[in-house]
Structure formats: structure tokens, C-alpha cells
Amino acid sequence: MTITLAFDVYGTLIDTHGVVIALEKHLGDKALDFSKTWREKQLEYSFRRGLMQNYKNFSVCTRHALDYTCSSFKTPLTQEDKETLLEVYKVLPAFDDAKEGLALAQQAGFRIFAFSNGSAEAVEILLTTAGIRDFFLGVVSVDTLKSFKPNPAVYSHFLRQAGATGAESWLISSNPFDVIGAVSAGMRGAWVQRSPDAIFDPWGIEPTSTVQSLTELTEKIRSTP
């Protein structure tokens, strides 16, 4: 059976810290720290909503996380400033290795899907703006299921939507929680460790493979029994 790849979008294909340039106008040299906190809270809010079964889509988590981060950094942005930043978040850039890595996977004959906490509409805009939408057979969003990664149900949802089995499917993500979630749900998982400082959660559940760049991914998958 042909191998199916589920690419996480935010933080794996798309650089969420691409918003830093826009933040520098308001925060100067604190922009990167602000961006990191915003991202951490965005994920935390999605986890909490998933556990509480109090679903709001990922854009709401992003907006609330921005409000929190402004308070945390004591940065009183106007509502107009916030809306501008949220618009930037809709058109973030792809990582430098994304296009080449996806092209290699496509040339290898893998079935390629985007699989995201974001809504299908938001992901379509992101991928199209970043110039990588044409690599994908489709976009699978957790929004249909009204939950978030790493709920095991969302990985089953992906497999149903992609018409794939867990044994022949790989989740590709730079987020350890996502890889652990996929492996726990019966898929294979490739962790994208772009920085040597990135740490994989020591849960005793390891990624099937680890790559430092998406350009290594196809060869790693081919060489995995």
C-alpha cells in the first residue's frame, strides 16, 4: 500500500515565528519572546478546550492567547493592532526546507495531506500564500471533529478522511506532543528537530524517525522497515 504522509502545518511547515517582524514594531527586542509565549498559550488553550470538550476553533485559541500575552508582557496593544497581528498570522511564511522536502516526498510517490488544528479554510489560505498548496491531495482539519490534537480521535479522523491505515501512515511534526499522539494512536511519527536545543518529551514513546530537515524525510521513511 502507498505510504500516506500527514503533515502538521503550524510550526512544521509554516513558521509561526514569522510574526516576529510585525511584533518588533511594538516590542523591539522582546518580540521573539512575545511570539514564543503567544504560541505556547495558543497550544495550551487548544489542549484545555479539548479536555473540557468546550470547543472553539483554533483562531479563537490564537486570539485569546494574544490577549493573554499582551497582559503578560504589559503591552497594551489597541484592538486595531491586535487585528493587524491576527491578519499577519493568517499568511505566515513556510520554513525554508518545506518546499524542497514536499517535492521530494511527492516525487517518491507518497500520498501527501495537510493535517492541522487550524480550520480547513485557514490552512488553505496559509498553504496557498506560502506557495506549497499544490503538493497536497487535501487538507484534513480537526475542526470537523470539534476537538484538537493529541486527542486519539483526531488521528483516527485523519485516517478515515485520507482512506489510509495507521501502519502505512506517518504523522510529520516538529511538535513532540503531536508525534506522541500519533504513535499512541497507531500511526508512525517523524519528529522534525530543526534545532539541536529542541527536546522530545521523555514519555517512553519515541518517534519512528527523527530528521533535522524536511529534506531528509523521504530517505528516512524509505529506509525505515
Q: Are residues 192 and 114 in the same domain?
A: yes
pLDDT of residue 54: 97
Given the DSSP bridges, would you call strands 4-7 and 209-211 parallel, antiparallel or unpaired?
unpaired
**Predicted local distance difference test score (pLDDT) of residue 76:** 87
Cell triple for 100: 524542497
Instruction: Quote the number of domains for the chain.
Output: 2
Residues 6+ apart with CB under 8 A from 51: none
Q: What strands, in cross-sheet order, belong to the sheet with 4-7?
A: 138-141, 111-116, 4-7, 169-173, 188-192, 209-211
What DSSP character marks residue 218?
H
Please identify, among 58, 89, 120, the residue that sits at the C-terminal boundary of a domain. 89
Asked if 205 and 189 count as a contact pair (C-beta separation under 8 A), the reply is no
Domain boundary among 73, 89, 105: 89
pLDDT for the residue numbered 81: 96
C-alpha dist (Å) from residue 217 to 6, 23, 175: 12, 32, 16
**142 and 218 together in one domain:** yes
State pLDDT tens for residues 148-181.
Answer: 999 999 999 999 999 999 999 999 999 999 999 9
Q: What's the chain's average pLDDT?
A: 97
Please give the positions annotated as active site.
8
Bridge-partner residues for 211, per DSSP? 192
| Number of other residues whose CB lies within 10 A of the CB of residue 132 | 22
pLDDT at 36 (0 to 100): 97
Check whether residue 161 and residue 65 sit in a common domain: no
Q: Which three cell numbers stand for residue 105?
A: 516526498
* Residue 45 and residue 107 in one domain: no
Domain that holds residue 182: 4-14+93-222
What's 92's DSSP letter?
A: P
Note the pLDDT of residue 128: 98
**In CATH, what number is assigned to the domain containing residue 74?**
1.10.150.240
pLDDT reported for residue 41 = 98
Which parts of the chain register pLDDT below 70? 1
Residues 117 and 130 in one domain: yes
In order, the DSSP letters of 155-198 are HHHHHHHHT--GGGEEEEES-HHHHHHHHHTT-EEEEE--STT-
Distance of alpha carbon 223 from alpha carbon 208, whole angstroms: 11
Cis before 150? omega within 30: yes
Whether 111 and 137 share a structural domain: yes
- Distance (Å, rounded) from C-alpha 108 to C-alpha 106? 5
